[in-house]
């Protein structure tokens, strides 16, 4: 199971809403989440991008993903 499948629904919805405004950035984030299986493998820059796009002031990347799957 990849990280895109584990992304919490509210964050996926916000990410999709930003696709019109920031298509390249959202596309890169989605591609990375589709290929990675572990949060620990994400680059710091991707976490910052998620934080900015999703308006979530945290550096804890684990909050973006479900752990009950």
Tally of CB atoms within 10 A around 14: 15
The confidence score (pLDDT) of residue 68 equals 78
Q: Which residue in the block uniquely carries the two structure tokens 């989605």? A: 30
Q: pTM of the entire structure?
A: 0.87
Domains of the chain: which residue ranges?
A: 3-56
Categorize the per-residue pLDDT at 69 as very low, low, confident or very high, splitting at 50, 70 and 90: low
Residue 55 has pLDDT above 90, yes or no: no
The confidence score (pLDDT) of residue 57 equals 82
Residue 39 has pLDDT above 80, yes or no: yes
Residue 29 has pLDDT above 90, yes or no: yes
């Amino acid at each position: 199971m990849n990280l895109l499948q584990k992304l919490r629904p509210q964050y996926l919805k916000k990410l999709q809403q930003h696709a019109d405004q920031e298509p390249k950035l959202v596309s890169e984030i989605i591609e990375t989440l589709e290929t990675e299986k572990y949060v620990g493998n994400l680059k710091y820059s991707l976490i910052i991008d998620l934080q900015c796009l999703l308006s979530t002031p945290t550096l804890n990347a684990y909050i973006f993903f479900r752990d009950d799957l």
